[in-house]
């Protein structure tokens, strides 16, 4: 057990915020993880679990033990003529898993190509993109209870998955460490290409025959054209969730803003936060070292030495101005620490 002290977390979060961890260690397997959790308990230190740091905003030094999860491995548990069940270590890089499954010709994850971060974090907010969320391919997960160090299995119904939501962000917040996730993938393809610009991109690329790889490549090129690469500009993807408002409110807004985009769902109409933020005048605005991205206003960025506090302050101003203009509340997707 190698526990480092006073470590900068700048390289461990995609916003590139320079805050420190009092203690820092890496868990390569379940035994490491349990030993570290026991160490923290015996010294009465708090614990923060870290994957790829692509959905956190550091607003202060962390007076705790940061455990970075690097539990690896992909195990084929079951195979039928139609499906496979694979158990994947929480530390596996999400996009590496996607590419591996495409190589095996196992379908289900292709629309989720190029999402940063780790497999262990994927159930936290039920990651989603291009018309697919992981709940559709999720079978179960194993997690260590931070109180008694037992390993517990969660089936899909136990996780309360919703849009960017799960039980692990609410009732079970900071109670479990996810150590593996099991996915059920298809050997016979079920291509989903109706969302956004996938179909158009496939046409532009001259794809005549659909394949998992062709869809993944199309998603990758759309994402590269829209989202800033955290290696170049610090960011955490969409900073806010897309709000769903009652259909009646949407119709009222449409009278004043005939161009307002909206997508009906079971609860009402989902309005793109990017549109609301752009209309409120924030797109491309820069304030010192932080700002609102010029192509995708839902992404707040750190140009270099911005602080978490600067980003929080900017996000609050955006929330207030969107509320003043549209009476719609934006909720952050990013986890503030």
Catalytic residues, by residue number, are: 164, 238, 333
Q: Which lies closer to ligand EPU via its Cβ, residue 237 or residue 291?
A: 237
**249: which 2 tokens?**
């409110």
Collapsed DSSP state (helix, strand, coil) of residue 87: strand
Q: Which is nearer to ligand FAD, 18 or 249 (CB)?
A: 18
The option from ligand FAD, ligand EPU, none interacting with 90 (CB < 5 to 8 A, set by class) reads ligand FAD
> Residue 180, by phi and psi: left (phi above 0), alpha (psi -120 to 50) or beta?
beta
Centroid of chain to Cα 36: 25
Does 291 contact ligand EPU by CB under 6 A?
Answer: no
Residue 241 contact partner, candidates ligand EPU, ligand FAD, none, CB within 5 to 8 A by sort of partner: ligand EPU
Q: Is 238 in the site for ligand EPU (CB under 6 A)?
A: yes
Please identify the residue of the shown chain whose CB is closest to the bound ligand EPU. 237
Distance CA 70, CA 64 (A): 19
Q: In this chain, which of 272, 312, 321, 335 binds ligand EPU, going by CB under 6 A?
A: 272
**Cβ distance to ligand FAD smaller for residue 32 or 326:** 32
Shortest separation between residue 144's beta carbon and ligand FAD, angstroms:
9
CB atoms within 10 A of CB 13: 24
Q: Does 162 bind ligand EPU (CB under 6 A)?
A: no
Other CB atoms closer than 10 Å to residue 284's CB: what's the count? 12
Binding residues for ligand FAD (CB under 6 A): 14, 48-56, 69, 90, 115-118, 120-122, 124-125, 127-129, 177-178, 227, 230, 235-237, 335
- Burial group, residue 209, by CB count within 10 angstroms (0-12, 13-18, 19+): exposed
Query: Largest Cα–Cα distance of the chain, in whole Å?
Result: 62
């Amino acid at each position: 057990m190698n526990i480092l002290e006073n470590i900068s977390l700048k390289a461990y979060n995609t916003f590139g915020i320079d805050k420190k961890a009092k203690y820092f260690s890496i868990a390569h397997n379940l035994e490491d993880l349990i030993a570290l959790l026991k160490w923290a308990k015996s010294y009465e230190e708090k614990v923060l679990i870290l994957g790829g740091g692509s959905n956190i905003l550091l607003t202060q030094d962390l007076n705790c033990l940061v455990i970075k999860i690097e539990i690896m491995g992909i195990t084929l548990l079951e195979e039928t003529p139609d499906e496979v069940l694979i158990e994947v270590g929480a530390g596996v890089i999400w996009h590496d898993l996607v590419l591996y499954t495409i190589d095996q010709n196992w379908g289900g994850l292709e629309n989720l190509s190029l999402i940063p971060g780790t497999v262990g974090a994927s159930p936290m907010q039920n990651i989603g993109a291009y018309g697919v969320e992981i709940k559709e391919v999720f079978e179960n997960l194993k997690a260590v209870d931070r109180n008694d160090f037992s390993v517990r299995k969660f089936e899909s119904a136990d996780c309360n998955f919703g849009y960017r939501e799960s039980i692990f962000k609410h009732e079970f917040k900071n109670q479990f460490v996810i150590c593996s996730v099991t996915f059920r993938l298809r050997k016979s393809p079920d291509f989903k290409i109706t969302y956004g610009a996938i179909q158009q991109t496939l046409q532009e690329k001259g794809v005549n025959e659909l394949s998992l790889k062709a869809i993944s490549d199309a998603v990758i090129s759309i994402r590269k054209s829209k989202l800033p690469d955290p290696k170049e500009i610090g960011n955490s993807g969409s900073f806010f969730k897309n709000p769903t408002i009652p259909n009646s409110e949407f119709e009222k807004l449409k009278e004043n803003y005939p161009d307002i985009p909206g997508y009906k769902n079971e609860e009402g109409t989902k309005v793109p936060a990017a549109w609301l933020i752009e209309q409120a005048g924030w797109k491309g605005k820069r304030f010192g070292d932080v700002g609102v991205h010029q192509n995708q206003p839902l992404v707040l960025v750190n140009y270099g030495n911005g602080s978490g506090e600067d980003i929080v302050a900017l996000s609050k101003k955006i929330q207030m101005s969107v509320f003043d203009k549209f009476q719609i509340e934006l909720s952050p997707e990013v986890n503030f620490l």
